[in-house]
């Protein structure tokens, strides 16, 4: 959370609920997630899968039905006694919006409760003073394009690359009347991987958002990240904090080109080293440009050092690399994995998997949408 580890209590004033949940909230999310994964499920199956007693399950389901968040689907085949009632999410009458306010673009998506995307739009990020009005316009344009009744939009989630855009949340609420919540981009991307990527559906997940070099540790539905406040960086959380954009890949390349080093990246610069992007360096590395390869190799080693520390500290089951670094594939993953294998505790390496993001540039807005759904069920 942007306000750092000081805010371990639950916050409801625009900030995604990211830490300790009470029993009711945990059960609401557990039941929602089970229905989402199964599609159609009976109350008795929910009781069996969650361990929540049948009376409590019925109370939760009845509450969801009353609020039109789930629908009764009829009856399943019975093995004796009363036929089990089937339940499914009410995806027609409940939608959320996810917004990614990135460094260069603003991306938005409308999703139903099953995290199925209905509409997607993106715009170039304007000057800072215009971001708020442009995001509100993007929200209105997506709603109009979707032809979804605005009363069926239950929440808006925003992933912010910079906390200076927090005012956008209040602007959306004021203009549309829809509840809006925000969180750091890295946390949103981590939640998206957890929800969408089946390989990342584990209890303990470490997500590295390489756009800003930020780490997010997830334990079930609780996430831990660090703020940019240097006073809060003492101890273990300093390795979760953001570092240079795109792992300093573009910056390193610009320095090399400025020095006159022979590389394919010179032609990409077209007389201006500031033209070089992370994508350019990755492309040159894949084309076996020696300078680009060395830059990406160095980034992989440095990222591996950080991951090894976090593996030793948190013992995750899976590490997911997202936020752009995954585009380099094995060029960055091989030195990264070798560094982790060399420096991480043997016991923590047993069963550890290091994988790349499956969502690419869509991770933050999908994650913001999934976190918005989470708020809807927490408040139910």
For the chain, domains (ranges, CATH) are: 4-89 (1.10.10.10), 95-191+363-378 (3.30.420.40), 199-357 (3.30.420.40)
Split at pLDDT 50, 70, 90, the class of 250 is confident
Joined together, the tokens standing for residue 267 give: 């032609």
Residues 190-205: pLDDT tens digits?
989 888 888 888 889 9
The answer to whether 292 and 177 are in contact (CB under 8 A) is: no
Q: Which residues contact 101 (CB under 8 A, 6 or more apart)?
A: 125, 131, 135, 158, 159, 160, 161, 162, 165, 168, 185
Q: State the CB neighbour count (10 A cutoff) for residue 48.
A: 12
- Which range has the worst mean pLDDT, 129-138, 159-168, 210-219, 361-370? 210-219
Q: What is the mean pLDDT of residues 254-273?
A: 78
Considering the chain, what is the average pLDDT of its residues? 85
Tokens describing residue 193: 């991987």
Asked whether the beta carbons of 182 and 15 are under 8 A apart, the reply is yes
pTM: 0.84
Helix (H) or strand (E) holding 15: none
Helices (H), the chain: 23-38, 43-50, 54-66, 128-146, 167-176, 185-196, 249-258, 265-269, 278-286, 290-314, 330-343, 346-349, 363-378
pLDDT tens for residues 280-331? 888 888 888 898 899 989 988 988 988 998 899 889 999 999 887 777 778 8
SS3 state at 364 = helix
Residue percentage of the chain with pLDDT more than 70:
86
For residue range 49-84, what is the model confidence (pLDDT) as tens digits? 999 999 999 999 999 999 999 999 876 655 555 556
User: Can you give the pLDDT at residue 15?
Assistant: 77
- What 83-86 contacts at long range (C-beta under 8 Å, 24+ apart), as own/partner pairs, is 84/42, 84/43, 84/44, 84/45, 85/42, 85/43, 86/40, 86/41, 86/42
Task: Give 273-302 as a DSSP string.
Answer: GGG--HHHHHHHHHTT-HHHHHHHHHHHHH
The per-residue pLDDT for range 127-145, each reduced to its tens digit, is 999 999 999 999 999 999 9
Complete DSSP assignment for 42-60: EHHHHHHHH---HHHHHHH
């Amino acid at each position: 959370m942007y306000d750092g580890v000081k805010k371990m209590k639950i916050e409801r004033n625009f900030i995604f609920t990211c830490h300790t949940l009470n029993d009711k909230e945990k059960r609401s999310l557990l039941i929602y997630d089970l229905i989402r994964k199964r599609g159609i499920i009976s109350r008795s199956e929910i009781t069996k899968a969650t361990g929540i007693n049948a009376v409590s399950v019925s109370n939760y389901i009845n509450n969801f039905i009353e609020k039109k968040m789930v629908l009764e689907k009829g009856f399943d085949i019975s093995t004796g006694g009363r036929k089990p009632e089937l339940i499914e999410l009410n995806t027609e009458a409940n939608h959320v919006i996810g917004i990614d306010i990135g460094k260069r673009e603003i991306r938005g998506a409308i999703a139903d409760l099953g995290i199925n995307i209905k509409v997607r739009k993106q715009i170039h990020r304007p000057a800072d003073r215009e971001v708020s009005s442009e995001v509100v316009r993007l929200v209105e344009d997506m709603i109009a394009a979707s032809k979804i009744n605005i009363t069926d939009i239950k929440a808006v989630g925003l992933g912010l690359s910079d906390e200076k855009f927090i005012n956008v949340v209040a602007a959306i609420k004021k203009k549309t009347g829809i509840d809006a919540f925000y969180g750091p981009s890295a946390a949103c991307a981590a939640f998206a991987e957890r929800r969408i990527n089946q390989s990342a559906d584990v209890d303990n997940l470490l997500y590295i958002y390489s756009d800003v070099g930020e780490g997010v540790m997830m334990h079930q539905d609780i996430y831990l990240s660090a703020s940019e406040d240097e006073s809060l960086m003492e101890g273990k959380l300093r390795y979760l904090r953001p570092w240079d954009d795109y792992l300093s890949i573009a910056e390193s390349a610009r320095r090399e080109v400025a020095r006159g080093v022979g590389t394919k990246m010179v032609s990409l610069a077209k007389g201006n080293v500031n033209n070089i992007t992370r994508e350019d360096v990755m492309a040159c590395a894949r084309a076996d440009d020696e300078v680009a390869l060395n830059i990406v190799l160095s980034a992989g080693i440095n990222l591996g050092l950080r991951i090894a520390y976090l593996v030793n500290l948190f013992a995750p089951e899976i590490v997911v690399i997202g936020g752009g670094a995954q585009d380099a594939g094995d060029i960055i993953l091989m030195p990264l994995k070798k560094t982790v294998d060399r420096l991480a505790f043997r016991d923590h390496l047993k069963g550890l998997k290091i994988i790349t993001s499956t969502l690419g540039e869509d991770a933050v807005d999908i994650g913001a949408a999934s976190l918005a759904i989470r708020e809807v069920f927490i408040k139910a």
